[in-house]
Amino acid sequence: MDKLFNKGWFIKLISLLIAVMLFLMVNVGNQPNQAGGIPGITDGSRVVEDVPLNVYYDEENYVLTEAPETVQVTMRGPQNVLTLSQITQGQQEVYIDLEGMEAGSHYERVEHRGFPSDLNISITPMTVSLTLEERATASYPVEVNLENVEEGMDAGEPVVEPSSVAVTSGGETVEEIDSAQVTIDMAGRTEGFTETADVVLYDESGNALDIAPDPGEVEVRIPLDSPHAEVPLQVNPPDETGGGRAISSVTLIPDTAAVYGTPEVLEGISSIEIEDVNWSDMDGDTTIDLEVPVPEGADRVEPESVTMEVNTENGEASEREFSGFPIEVQGLASGLNAEFPTLENNQLTLELRGEEQTIEAVSRSDIRAVVNLSGLSAGEHQTPLQITGPSGIQFPQNGTELSVELTDGTRPPEEPEEEDDPEPENGTEPENEPAEEPQENEEEENNEELPEPDPQEEEENTEEPEEDTEEPDIENENELEEDNNNEESA
Of 130-134, 237-241, 243-247, 447-451, which gets the smallest average pLDDT?
447-451
Examine the domain organization and report whether 341 and 385 are in the same domain: yes
| 268: phi then psi, degrees, rounded to nearest 5 | -95, 5
The last residue of a domain, from among 172, 191, 225: 225
Range of the domain at 402: 317-412
Of 24-38, 87-101, 155-169, which gets the smallest average pLDDT?
24-38
pLDDT, average across residues 360-364: 86
Examine the domain organization and report whether 216 and 239 are in the same domain: no
What pLDDT score was predicted for residue 316? Answer: 59
What pLDDT score was predicted for residue 451? Answer: 47
Is 472 within the bounds of a domain? no
Is 488 within the bounds of a domain? no
**pLDDT tier, 408 (very low <50, low <70, confident <90, very high otherwise):** confident
- The DSSP call for residue 402 is E
**pLDDT tier, 435 (very low <50, low <70, confident <90, very high otherwise):** very low
Is 471 within the bounds of a domain? no
**pLDDT tier, 438 (very low <50, low <70, confident <90, very high otherwise):** very low
What pLDDT score was predicted for residue 161? Answer: 93
pLDDT, average across residues 158-183: 89
Examine the domain organization and report whether 141 and 214 are in the same domain: yes
Residues 6+ apart with CB under 8 A from 395: 350, 351, 352, 353, 367, 387, 389
What pLDDT score was predicted for residue 410? Answer: 52
pLDDT one-digit tens code per residue, 201-230: 999 999 998 888 999 999 999 887 777 888
Measured distance CA(96)–CA(154) in Å, rounded:
56
Is 480 within the bounds of a domain? no
Most confident of 41-45, 116-120, 247-251, 466-470: 116-120
Is 442 within the bounds of a domain? no
The last residue of a domain, from among 225, 248, 264: 225
Give 380's Cβ-side CA count (13 Å radius). 3
- Most distant CA pair in the chain, distance: 174
Examine the domain organization and report whether 20 and 43 are in the same domain: no
What pLDDT score was predicted for residue 462? Answer: 44
pLDDT, average across residues 425-443: 43
What pLDDT score was predicted for residue 440? Answer: 42
How many percent of the chain have pLDDT more than 70? 74
| Helix or strand (DSSP H, E) at 387 | strand 386-388
pLDDT one-digit tens code per residue, 26-64: 555 444 444 444 444 578 888 999 999 999 998 888 888
Nearest to 131, CA basis, from 201, 208, 59, 62? 62
What pLDDT score was predicted for residue 465? Answer: 43
What pLDDT score was predicted for residue 6? Answer: 67
Domain CATH code at residue 296:
2.170.120.40
The last residue of a domain, from among 125, 143, 173: 125
Q: Inform me whether the pLDDT recorded for 155 exceeds 60.
A: yes
Examine the domain organization and report whether 52 and 110 are in the same domain: yes
**pLDDT tier, 345 (very low <50, low <70, confident <90, very high otherwise):** confident
Most confident of 293-307, 400-414, 430-444: 293-307
Q: Inform me whether the pLDDT recorded for 74 exceeds 90.
A: yes
Is 258 within the bounds of a domain? yes
Instruction: Quote the strand ranges of 148-260, DSSP E.
Output: 154-155, 159-161, 164-170, 179-185, 193-198, 200-202, 217-222, 224-225, 228-234, 246-253, 256-260
What pLDDT score was predicted for residue 27? Answer: 57
Residue with the larger pLDDT of the pair 174 and 70: 70
- Residue 356 exposed, middle or buried by CB count within 10 Å (0-12, 13-18, 19+): middle
How many percent of the chain have pLDDT more than 90? 17
Per-chain mean pLDDT for the chain = 77
Examine the domain organization and report whether 307 and 333 are in the same domain: no
The string of DSSP letters for 228-274 reads EEEEEEE----SB-TTS-EEEEEEEESSEEEEES-HHHHHT---EE-
What pLDDT score was predicted for residue 207? Answer: 92
Examine the domain organization and report whether 187 and 265 are in the same domain: no
| Helix or strand (DSSP H, E) at 474 | helix 470-489
Measured distance CA(132)–CA(58) in Å, rounded:
9
What pLDDT score was predicted for residue 432? Answer: 44
Total tally of structural domains belonging to the chain:
5
Examine the domain organization and report whether 78 and 149 are in the same domain: no
| Helix or strand (DSSP H, E) at 43 | strand 43-56
Examine the domain organization and report whether 196 and 244 are in the same domain: no
pLDDT, average across residues 384-392: 82
Domain CATH code at residue 353:
2.170.120.30
**pLDDT tier, 25 (very low <50, low <70, confident <90, very high otherwise):** low
Q: Inform me whether the pLDDT recorded for 199 exceeds 90.
A: yes
Examine the domain organization and report whether 323 and 401 are in the same domain: yes
What pLDDT score was predicted for residue 271? Answer: 86
Q: Inform me whether the pLDDT recorded for 490 exceeds 50.
A: no
**pLDDT tier, 5 (very low <50, low <70, confident <90, very high otherwise):** low
pLDDT, average across residues 399-416: 71
pLDDT, average across residues 169-198: 86
Examine the domain organization and report whether 330 and 399 are in the same domain: yes
Examine the domain organization and report whether 321 and 374 are in the same domain: yes
Is 44 within the bounds of a domain? yes
Measured distance CA(73)–CA(96) in Å, rounded:
15
**pLDDT tier, 142 (very low <50, low <70, confident <90, very high otherwise):** very high
From edge to edge, which strands make up the β-sheet containing 328-330? 328-330, 368-372, 386-388
Is 448 within the bounds of a domain? no
